[in-house]
Amino acid sequence: KQEVTQIPAALSVPEGENLVLNCSFTDSAIYNLQWFRQDPGKGLTSLLLIQSSQREQTSGRLNASLDKSSGRSTLYIAASQPGDSATYLCAVRPIRDDKIIFGKGTRLHILP
């Protein structure tokens, strides 16, 4: 059964630093992987979607990579800002099941 893990659960970094959030999954048979952002008490905002045939996707200061063979994805945030503070979740779409599987998220706090 597919499992998605995000470590660490929480992270605090000073403003301006570049940082990497990690997502690992146990079964490499996936269609795609999606990164989301969630602000407290709000819904999920899609950041990046990586199809299984892709290695990475970029949007502004965000870059997401995918290594299916090792079961890992990273979300790179450049020049972090206090407005980046939020919980970041990754979700995979397995090939064998149409239900996406979410990680528990990493709660990111950017220190001004």
Partner 1 sequence: DVKVTQSSRYLVKRTGEKVFLECVQDMDHENMFWYRQDPGLGLRLIYFSYDVKMKEKGDIPEGYSVSREKKERFSLILESASTNQTSMYLCASRVGQHYGYTFGSGTRLTVV
Q: How many CB atoms lie within 10 A of CB 91?
A: 20
Q: Which residues pair with 5 in a beta bridge?
A: 24
- Cβ 105 to partner 1, closest distance in Å? 8
Q: With binding defined as CB under 8 A, does residue 32 bind partner 1?
A: yes
* Residues 6 or more apart in contact with residue 94 via CB below 8 angstroms: 2, 27, 29, 30, 31, 100, 101
**Near partner 1 by CB under 8 A: residue from 21, 23, 36, 68:** 36
Span interacting with partner 1, options 19-27, 40-48, 59-67, 72-80, rule CB under 8 A: 40-48
Q: With binding defined as CB under 8 A, does residue 96 bind partner 1?
A: no
* Residues 6 or more apart in contact with residue 84 via CB below 8 angstroms: 77, 108, 110
Are 112 and 46 contacting, i.e. CB atoms less than 8 angstroms apart?
A: no
Binding mask 45-74 toward partner 1 (x if CB under 8 A, else -) reads xx--x-x-----------------------
Residues lying near partner 1 in the complex (CB under 8 A) are found at 31-32, 34, 36, 41-46, 49, 51, 89, 91, 93, 98-100, 102-105
